Amino acid sequence: MARIVAGAGMSHVPAIGVAMDTGITGDDYWSPLFAGFEKSREWIKEVNPDAVIVVYNDHATAFSLEIIPTFALGCAAEYAIADEGWGPRPVPAVKGHPELAWHMAQSIILDEFDLTLVNKMEVDHGLTVPLSLMFGQPEEWPCPVIPLCVNVVQYPPPTGNRCYNLGKAIRRAVESFDKDMKVVILGTGGMSHQLQSERAGLINAEFDNAFLDMMATDPEKAASMPHVEYLREAGSEGVELVMWHVMRGAIDKDAREVHRHYHVPASNTAVGHIILENTTA
């Protein structure tokens, strides 16, 4: 059967992609951030997944305020790179895995989660930056990708608990797929940051690191956190962290921490990263 072997949480700051695309990752400002992902690239190369599920949020490229799905699952064979106002990132088009994605759709919907199914979609930095952090700058991404887009842009976003339970449904779906596959799931977004108003530039390292601790050892406590706590402690864009709960729900509760990285700042955002491996076969 297919199985989810590990999950990782990470930020998807757009400036990270710009740094990679313009060749400045070795600059004094950027090198400490990218150094924290060297082990991650070695790790995922060794794991060699057959597919990656990326939980991310769209930034008004695939969806506008006219249509706002809470959870949108990409079922296409390929996803073009979005032009976010300065041209598409110079990265490969993202190849999907329609067979697994459609199986997931059927399983998750019959598991009583309502998904929007997407057969054509451009993907933005929310998805491509995590791929770049994990895989570098290849001519082609080394495995198919299944995008799962979560609304954290327009109120109301889903709760952390809802996302955590969706992760459990994703695991059940993957494990009922009758092909032998290794799957890694990425929960992206965050950490603490606010892009507007009086608290623009907010960084709360104490909260961020406590959240990483909970991801490692107490995911149910993390999933119970109300929206207002993200707003108060992590800023208006800190609510992106609910997407990490989808990843966390899809792996073992006692998953083993393999690697952790925290860096401030990247642009005006705190960057967090954790890799967790399943302890079950």
pLDDT digits (tens, 9 = 90+) for 86-109: 899 999 999 999 999 999 999 999
Arithmetic mean of pLDDT over the chain: 96
Instruction: Report pTM.
Output: 0.97
The CA-atom distances, in angstroms, between 50 and each of 26, 146, 251, 269, 276 are 30, 11, 17, 31, 17
Q: What share of the chain is helix, strand, coil (3-state, %, to 5)?
A: 35, 20, 40
Where exactly are the structural domains of the chain? 3-277
- Is the domain 3-277 a CATH 3.40.830.10 member? yes
Residue 161 predicted with pLDDT over 90: yes
What is the per-residue pLDDT across 24-65, written as a single tens digit (0 to 9) for each? 999 999 999 999 999 999 999 999 999 999 999 999 999 998
What is the per-residue pLDDT across 110-127, written as a single tens digit (0 to 9) for each? 999 999 999 999 999 999
- Say what the pLDDT of residue 185 is: 98
- Say what the pLDDT of residue 119 is: 97
- Say what the pLDDT of residue 132 is: 98
Query: Where in the sequence numbering do the catalytic residues fall?
Result: 125, 193
